[in-house]
Structure 1
Amino acid sequence: MRVLGVVRVSTKEQATDAHYSFAAQRTRIRAYCHDRHWDLVDIVEYVQSGGSNRRELREILARVQRDQIQCIVVNELDRLTRDMVSTMLFLEELQRVGCRFASVSDDLDLTTPDGELKMMMLAMFAHYFRRQLSRKVKGGQAERAKQGKRHGERPFGYRPHGDSWVPDPQEAPVVQQIFQWYLQDRLGFRAIAQRLNAAGIPGQRGRTGTWDVRTVERLLRREAYVGDTIYGRWIQETDREGHTHVHRQTPQIIRDTHPAIIDRATWNQVQERLRIRQSMGRRTHDSPYLFSGLVRCGACGASMVVVRTGRRQPDGRRAPVYCCRAYHTKGQCSTATKIPVADLDAAVLGALREEFRQVQTAPTPEQVARWLGDDPVMAQAQAARHRAAQRLAAIPAMLARAEEMALAGAYTIDEYKQAKARLLAEQAECEAVLHAPWPQLDDPQRLAARVAALIPQLEAALTADVATARPWIQSVVERIVCHPGRHITVTWRSAGEEVCPVAVGAAQCPSE
């Protein structure tokens, strides 16, 4: 009889155990086959958890059919798998192809009803043990995280010290340098990785580790560098086919569990720049145009890209214009909105200068709330207006829905009248919030001081190259919408949903 032996350990440490090691399992399987005069063709070895080895089971089934194996031998049933469903399906497949199964320690004979019953009971106990072990391990990890004790992978820049992390004297300065390069020198992920590799600084995995874009980005986003411990951000699940799926969930954050390498102010600034970078898209960072990634079509809402059209310039090239992507690539936008790049840049920068000049001389309440969003009184008033505007925009659809429900018989006449009266009252409340006067600012000098500090930054951005000016522009401008005709609207990043209409001096380019 042609026999294939299967040995498994859950971890590399278990491979050295006296009872579960590969050598111990191989010895028992060889002796078992020798006593029965079976032809042991080969012994398959693998290191895998008993609950996630379905892929290995499929490989064993494929080899059974390829090499005409007549029996599978394991040392114990749980050395095959600890998942009861996987065990039953695997044994059914063996029976379907005419292959027997034997366990050295369990003395199973699946040709009899007693053997099948014993096998099912052993599989149930193995499945129960695996679930209990998984629950205890995850519970222990969660408890360690709640107590602020170290767990998981070592963050670059730290070394273990008892149950906590302490800054590593060699790696911690590298972490601080990376944050400085990204925040102050405005370097990208790739440029930082190239500098680190050129300097010969080893990465997370020691001498063999190198730096790349993904490694630098993960380091800049890791909360461990401000002294926090994070647990439960990802949950891992394995389906019946053996495929592992990772899902993101809301993590638990335990503050100040170990010494920080980066202060929170620097950390928050880096996270804000990362958020802006992510919202801009990958191609925007290398674009030679100042507002790439910020411009949207007012007719269809699609992004606008720079194309060259119209008459040729003295250098022989056509003038660059912002064109609706939906129209340019698919012809789906009916208005074909186009605005010259030079005119849009001049209009937005001029509006920014005018905004700062007006705030310094005679600011409106909206401008006060826009540029002093961190003031508690103004922030509360602005948030209330934002919620009221959102609710006011949704009420007409809710009224129409209530009328449809009444016509369909889902609402009685009285229920419809009550719902309509409630929505109309809520509409009046939202309008009252939007038309209410803004609160008075306790310290008017704060606004002038903040804008006075922004004006030199604006002038420096205008005289610098596009790559240097774009990060500051992105921190001020949230969105630019180009409407059909001769005007655009600009949303300042500090203004939330407030928009500032800006007239464009040049006429719209003709459609192609």
Structure 2
Amino acid sequence: MKIYAYSYTDPLLDESPPKHIWGWEVDHVYEDLGKRRTQLQKLLEDCHIQPPEYLLIRQLQELGDSVAEINSRVTELKGLGVKIVAVEENHSFSDSHIQLIELLQELQYQQRSRRIRQGHARNRLNIAPPPGKAPYGYKKGKSKYILDKTTAPVVKDFFENFLLYASLRGAVRYLAKKYNKKISVTTGKRWLINPVYRGDTAYKNHQIILDTHTAIISREEGAQVDRILRRNSSLPKRTASAPRSLAGLVVCGECKSSMKVGLVTRRDRVQEYLYLRPIDCPKTPKCRAISYDAVLEKTIEVVCRELPLAVAGTNFPQLDAVKNQLSEKILHQQEIIQQIPNLFESGILDQETAKIRIYQLNTEISTLTAKLNSLPPANLSSIAQAVSIPQFWFDLSESERRFYLREFIQNIQLIRQKDTWELDIVFIF
């Protein structure tokens, strides 16, 4: 029994199938890549000479670029006694022609959908914006996004507020108050992670092309936004925007419960009393509350003493090696891109293949750049020295202290010792 297999791969949309996809013992595999279907013609010629019993394909639409072509080739193969099996569609066209007629409408829809996706793929190769409305702050130009001078300052102000106070809800409230621009917290989160505001274009397949249009925030600001979001995601719910700098950071070492900032006021006094108490203490009697101001002063003391030591213990040579390795890979990919026009002019690559290769290299550069930006800043040692001065912390507002503390601290363990207590600070590096 002779079995042939045929696959067609559109480099704009598909990847070549692996060898083991057929699940049969195949005598010969015919594979076409791109517009020319030379292997399909070779298959038809071989079938006229010595027809196989079965022809395996992934999908019926691989046999042509139109319904008419597909119908013609199916009819030709069936006339030679070849049984066609579409392995991904669970179809076999060996019994009757009626089965093919019933699939024509579905096939027409698939072909139309495929042509639309091919059009979108060609737009990606030309680095054109994806279909749909431009993100807030931009307008669609002929080939790229352009800044909307009316709304771009609103987005810029939103990012600056978030970078200053590290509070998503606070930035959302700020927009509503200053610009009467009301957005949900979910929309605000989408703004923060949207590559378009960093000058990049993102497509539905999650691939990103860098530096396609004017950015609203810089690369450094974008990397800082990502660090803040990662840090805030590990904090208890709603503490990211809490007004107190220690909110969400302190954990009771006795009962392992996170500690909440509480406030006590007296009707006849203006003075407020802040304290920290466990949110869900299982012990009886429950772990007692601690003065917030006392814990804050002790936190600043420990940070000033231990942060420079923690940074000094970080393996910066290894970190530098990782950064250099990523930078070298990015540079190598950029050099390859510069060589592709010469390959096109010399006829080694056709225009479409050259565009596809450039697009692939640009998405690889985007991935490598994202990894590079996620690493700690290079000037971490100098930053640690600057913030190891107690007066620096006391000159900050609570929201500013909250930003800096979360930049360095993962959590603060409050260790109780009879009538006293100590702090064990876990840094993020």
- Give 2:425's aligned residue: 490
- The aligned amino acid for 1:369 is G
8 A Cα contact 2:261 2:274, kept in partner = no
SS at structure 1 position matched to 2:426? strand
Structure 1 residues 229, 288: closer, same or farther in 2, change over 3 A?
Answer: closer
Within-5 A mapping of 1:372-451: 375-377=316-318, 449-451=382-384
- Separation in 2 of the partners of 1:217 and 1:157? 15
Judged with a 3 Å threshold, the aligned counterparts in structure 2 of structure 1 residues 192 and 125 are, in CA distance, closer, same or farther, namely: same
Aligned-pair CA distance for 1:459: 2.8
Q: Residue 194 of structure 1: CA displacement? A: 4.9
Calculate percent identity across the aligned residue pairs.
22
Q: Which amino acid aligns with 1:262?
A: I
Residue 224 of structure 1, aligned match among 185, 196, 209:
196
Q: Over alpha carbons, which structure has the higher Rg? A: 1
Indicate if the aligned counterparts of 1:337 and 1:483 stay in contact, CA closer than 8 A: no
Structure 2 partner of 1:277:
232
Give the distance between the partners of 1:355 and 1:473, measured in 2 at CA. 13
Residue number in structure 1 paired with 2:399:
467
Aligned equivalents of 2:135 and 2:380: distance in 1? 41
Whole-Å separation in 1 of the counterparts to 2:168 and 2:401: 18
> Which amino acid counterpart does residue 177 of structure 1 have in structure 2?
D
CA distance in 2, matches of 1:315, 1:169: 46
The DSSP-based 3-state class of the residue aligned with 2:247 is: coil
Contact 1:335 1:484 in 2 (8 A): no
Runs of at least 5 residues in structure 2 that lack an aligned partner in the other structure: 1-95, 323-378
- SS of the residue aligned with 1:472? helix
Q: CA deviation at 1:193?
A: 4.3
2:301 corresponds in structure 1 to 350
SS of equivalent residue, structure 2 residue 183: coil
Separation in 1, partners of 2:167, 2:241: 11
The letter of the residue matching 2:228 is R
Q: How big is the shift at 1:232?
A: 3.2
Listed one character per residue, the Cα deviations across residues 105-134 of structure 1 (whole Å, up to 9, x for unaligned) are xxxxxxxxxxxx999866533333333433
Shift of residue 286, structure 1, vs aligned partner: 5.2
| Gap change, CA 1:180 and 1:320, over 3 Å in 2 | closer
Q: Distance in 2 between matches of 1:368 and 1:491?
A: 15
Counterpart contact for 1:145–1:230, Cα < 8 Å: no
TM-score of the two chains, using structure 2 as the length reference:
0.51
Tell me which residue corresponds to 1:453.
386
RMSD: 4.0
Q: Which amino acid aligns with 1:459?
A: Q
| Match in the other structure for 1:438 | none
Structure 1 residue 158 corresponds to structure 2 residue 126 = no
Cα distance change on mapping 1:181 and 1:200 into 2, 3 Å? closer
Structure 1 segments of 4 or more deviating over 6 A? 117-122, 314-319
Structure 1 gap ranges (5+): 1-116, 204-209, 234-250, 382-445, 496-512
Asked if the contact 1:193–1:212 (Cα under 8 Å) also holds between the matched residues in 2, the reply is yes
**2:341 is aligned with 1:369:** no
- Indicate if the aligned counterparts of 1:295 and 1:479 stay in contact, CA closer than 8 A: yes
Structure 1 residues 376 and 290: CA distance shift in structure 2, 3 A: same
Question: How far apart in 2 are the matches of 1:130 and 1:301?
Answer: 59
Equivalent position to 2:245, from 268, 278, 290: 290
The alpha-carbon distance between structure 1 residues 157 and 289, as it changes in their structure 2 partners (threshold 3 A), is: closer
Secondary structure at the aligned position of 2:234 is classed as helix
- Asked if residue 265 in structure 1 is aligned to residue 209 in structure 2, the reply is no
Distance 1:265 1:477 in 2: 21
SS of 1:270's equivalent in the other structure is helix
Kept after mapping to 2: 8 A contact 1:369/1:379? no
Alignment partners' CA distance in 1, 2:194 and 2:259: 34
Task: Name the aligned partner's letter for residue 219 of structure 2.
Answer: R
AA aligned opposite 1:304? M
How many residue pairs end up in the alignment? 269
Q: Take 2:271 and 2:161, find their aligned partners in 1: how far apart are those partners?
A: 39
Change (3 A) 1:183 1:378: closer
* Structure of higher RCO (CA pairs closer than 8 Å, 6+ residues apart): 2
Residue of structure 2 aligned with 1:127, choices 106, 119, 128:
106
Q: 1:169 to 1:316 in 2, by over 3 A?
A: closer
Which of 141, 160, 170 in structure 2 is aligned with 1:180?
160
> What secondary structure is seen at the aligned counterpart in 2 of 1:280?
coil
Letter in 2 for 1:467: S
Residue in 2 that maps onto 1:213: 185
